Amino acid sequence: MIVVLAIDALEIDLVEEFNCSNLKQKHYGKTDITEFSEPRTMVLWCSFMSGKNIEKKIMEKGDKEMWNTKIPHDETFFKEFDNPKIIDLPGFSYEKKQHDAERALLKSFFDAKDDEEKTDIRKKYNAHAFEHHREIKREFANALKEDHDFVLGYFSLADVIGHLNFGNRTMIRMIYRDLDEIAGTIKTPYTVLSDHGMVALGIYGDHSNYGFWSSSEKNLGNPKITDFESIILNSR
Ligand SMILES: [Zn+2]
């Protein structure tokens, strides 16, 4: 079984600071995403699964419609596997309802006039994200026990929570610990991959212009996100 732990907005500086050894593994580093005009989640994951830069095609859909993207199975490298399980990946098996609810809460947060209202909305937003995270965690744990030749689990928590709470060190540390624990449950060699990292923007968080990878087996240097098609297929 080949396993990819796909984590949105995993920041290399924090992986180091919080010393997340299961996320770091033996080899880790940054990915090179400078070929993309901006570090956009949907563009990066769609390009990852397609094995090529499809930014133009995704951008043509517009900011809102791009979240409805579903890349056909046959246009991804997942087709090379007999029984792959791809959990919650944007552009493939993402739960759109979850994203829509996050967006709506985010908008009402920034529209809210007073601090009390903001605090209230932030609480709801965070609770919603943590609940979804627990569901995906369960699904991932089950998939690891099943008979798949490829399992990819996508975790959005660090990104979703990071946007509104990046200044909350305690909360961010707790999330990194949890993600590190999830990596620790994988009993076969695995790859950790993130689309981009995160930088502070006041108390908020914004996407950084590099991603993250780690591997127990190989030093991959400074790979592009589109290189992972061949990296993963060649590891079979
Ligand atoms: Zn992202």
pLDDT in tens, 26-67: 999 999 999 999 999 999 999 999 999 999 999 999 988 999
Measure 42 CA to ligand 1 centroid, in angstroms: 7
pLDDT given for residue 93 in this prediction: 96
Domains of the chain: 2-234 (3.40.720.10)
pLDDT given for residue 95 in this prediction: 86
Residue 84's region, left for phi above 0, alpha for psi from -120 to 50, else beta, is: beta
Measure 82 CA to ligand 1 centroid, in angstroms: 28
Measure 186 CA to ligand 1 centroid, in angstroms: 23
Measure 200 CA to ligand 1 centroid, in angstroms: 15
Measure 218 CA to ligand 1 centroid, in angstroms: 24
Measure 27 CA to ligand 1 centroid, in angstroms: 22
Q: pLDDT tens for residues 79-134?
A: 999 999 999 999 999 988 988 999 999 999 999 999 999 999 999 999 999 999 99
For residues 145-170, average pLDDT: 97
For residues 8-32, average pLDDT: 98
pLDDT given for residue 89 in this prediction: 98
Measure 74 CA to ligand 1 centroid, in angstroms: 24
What CA–CA distance (Å, rounded) separates 194 from 44?
A: 9
What backbone torsions phi and psi does residue 31 show, to the nearest 5 degrees?
Answer: -95, 160
Measure 234 CA to ligand 1 centroid, in angstroms: 26
pLDDT given for residue 132 in this prediction: 97
For residues 130-146, average pLDDT: 98
CA distances from 106 to 67, 101, 140 (A): 16, 9, 27
Measure 210 CA to ligand 1 centroid, in angstroms: 11
Measure 41 CA to ligand 1 centroid, in angstroms: 4
Measure 148 CA to ligand 1 centroid, in angstroms: 26
* Mean pLDDT over the full length of the chain: 96
